Amino acid sequence: MLKCSKLLFIMIILTLAPVNRNKMITEVEFFDPEYEPAAALTYSVITARYGNKWIFVRHQQRETWEIAGGHIEKGESSFAAAGRELMEETGAIRFKLHCIATYSVKKGGETGYGRLYLADVFELGPIPDISEIAEVILLDQIPENPTHPDIQPHLFRKTMEYINKKI
């Protein structure tokens, strides 16, 4: 009986082992806003508030909500990309940007870098026709179904830390 139990236990471990090896862990790390990583910055992400609400967007090809942001184009600064992406994705017309941090995301053996901004939006207009965004929503907190649940809560938490230090 002992041999059978031991064999069953080993089979269960071997069956579960590939699941554990394939599970990718995402690591998000924050640096000073001025930090320049050896690799180029790829993204500008903008946590944005309009009045006392947070602005989240839904991409046309997704059912989940996300923080506004996107790729930094060649020759573009992260600050310029943040302003462009904010306008393209939310319809923001008048706003003030604050650089919160440079951040890295490590996942699947690869590391990417971006800059996190906070936008105080004073005026919203329609989403431009060129936008890939289908919908904008105003919420009190991060949505329950974020597009990147392994990254966005960290970015939102860092934004809240920044705001709380300013108070």
User: Could you report the per-residue pLDDT of 32-74, keeping only the tens digit for each?
Assistant: 999 999 999 999 999 999 999 999 999 989 999 999 999 999 9
d(CA 140, CA 118): 15
d(CA 80, CA 59): 21
The predicted model scores a pTM of 0.84
Q: How many CA atoms lie within 13 A of 147 on its CB side?
A: 15
d(CA 156, CA 136): 17
Taking only the tens place, the pLDDT of each residue in 8-39 is: 333 333 333 344 444 578 999 999 999 999 99
E strands in the chain: 27-31, 41-50, 53-59, 68-71, 92-107, 110-124, 133-139
Q: Which domains does the chain show, CATH number per domain?
A: 25-166 (3.90.79.10)
The pLDDT value given to residue 40: 94
Report angle CA 100, 105, 111 to the nearest 5 degrees. 125
The pLDDT value given to residue 23: 59
Considering the chain, what is the average pLDDT of its residues? 87
Taking only the tens place, the pLDDT of each residue in 146-155 is: 999 999 999 9
- DSSP structural state of residue 148: -
